[in-house]
Amino acid sequence: MFAEAELGHDSTAELRMSLIAVRQHLGEAFQLNQLNHDEIPDTAEELRARNARIVQREWAEDVLDERTSALAEKVARARRAPEIIAGVRGDAALLRSRVPHARDTVERLAARYAPEALAPVEPNPAEAEQLLGFAEHSAGVAERRRQAGQREQANLALEASTESVRRAAALLDAVETFEVEALRAESTLAAIVEDSRGDLDVALKEPHSPGVATAIANLRAALASLPRAGANTDPFAQLNSLREANAGLNAAIAAARERAARPIPPLEHVRHAIDDADRQLAVTRDVFNGYRGWIGADARTRLAESERIRIDLNRFLEMPAAAVTVIDEDHREQAMAMARRVAYLAGEALLLAQRDIDASRPQDPGQWGGQGWGGGRRSGGSDMMGGILGGLVIGSILDGFID
């Protein structure tokens, strides 16, 4: 009742709903507790279920604590309304005295900086003055509504007035902060321009690469775009542009140094790895086609992964890998790694396929008739698979010698 008298009927609606829910829950808990102690015997499961429901009263206490704490802060604020209204008026008067200085600051900054640089703070003095007028008006409304007993409307007007004062102060502070930050940006920009010119001299001595050449061109363009002395500038945009160009140059130089530190595979070695991968993949496919239904999931999974990477290799090179004649130096190492992975998975699929085929063959030569499939052809099939695997192993060894 005290909260409703201070805040109004609507502001205490959540607390009333919580009280109703808590009252209902406690009544249910009391009934369950009586059932636990009546003359009718209960099973252990029934007792556990009732006790679990009863101990949920902690939830009710938490809900009430949360609602009453929130209302306590609002009630305390409502009781301090006369003091807060006086503070709002005092703060508004103090901030209003800063508005002329803020206007002078914006005019002074406009003579030095470009309109796009000044855009974030240029309207701040006028907006702050409007907010202060609204804050004073809202404070008066809050005072009148409180005297009329309309506490809820009075509290809303009071919150609006304090928020308006806070926003007005932030707008005026932003004008002063902008001037300091602009001066700091100009100082930083001069240092970065000097560093950038030194970075260009260093970059010209680094290992040549298309990335470094592009980054040098971008940094030179950023330096050339700086306005002449005396012109209105946007130091923030210029600083961001130079920082971005410098970061791009540093990244390009680091990439060029890393590439220079490791050997680049010759084009012939990359093409040999691709040819070897295609050869091993073709042999594995032939074996799988000849023994359909006898090869297990592991072998099929290896073959599917090998085929997928082979497709990815075409996409990586943006053309059929078997027909490629030129591969950029930056792509050769990755292309060779993908080709070797294709060959490795194809060879592993073939080994697993041989295991599955051998496991499927009958151990008794006469099981399916004398020298038939289970007899004489068994040796030939094993010899064929051994020859295929031997050829793949030799191919891998020779590939390693060539690399």
**Which residue from 262, 242, 249 is spatially nearest to 330, judged by alpha carbons?**
262
Task: Name the residue ranges covered by the structural domains of the chain.
Answer: 2-79, 186-261, 267-402
- The structure tokens listed for 254 are 């680091």
Sign for the CA dihedral angle at 314, 318, 324, 328 comes to negative
How far apart are alpha carbons 223 and 218 in whole angstroms?
Answer: 9
Closest C-alpha to 272, from 152, 385, 399, 162: 399
pLDDT of residue 18: 58
Q: What is the Cα 249 distance to its own chain's centre?
A: 25
Per-residue pLDDT of the chain (403 residues; tens, 9 = 90+): 444 444 444 545 555 565 666 666 666 666 666 666 666 776 777 777 766 666 665 566 666 666 666 555 655 666 676 888 888 899 999 999 999 999 999 999 998 898 998 999 999 999 999 999 999 999 888 888 877 777 778 778 888 999 999 999 999 999 999 989 998 988 888 888 888 888 888 888 877 778 888 998 998 998 888 888 778 888 888 889 999 999 998 888 888 887 777 778 888 899 999 999 999 999 999 999 888 888 999 999 999 999 999 999 999 988 888 888 888 877 888 999 999 999 999 999 999 999 988 888 766 554 444 443 333 344 444 445 555 555 544 444 344 434 4
The whole-model pTM stands at 0.49
Residue 64: phi and psi, rounded to 5, are: -65, -40
Indicate the residue type of 92. A
Contact, 270 vs 339, CB < 8 A?
Answer: yes
Half-sphere exposure of 366 (CA within 13 A, CB side): 0
CA–CA distance, 155 with 78 (Å, rounded to integer): 7
Length, in residues, of the chain: 403
283, two tokens: 């042999």
- The span from the CA of 160 to the CA of 92, in Å, is 13
- The confidence score (pLDDT) of residue 16 equals 57
Looking up tokens 């010698």 gives 401
pLDDT of residue 54: 65
Interior CA angle at 122 toward 118 and 123, to 5°? 150
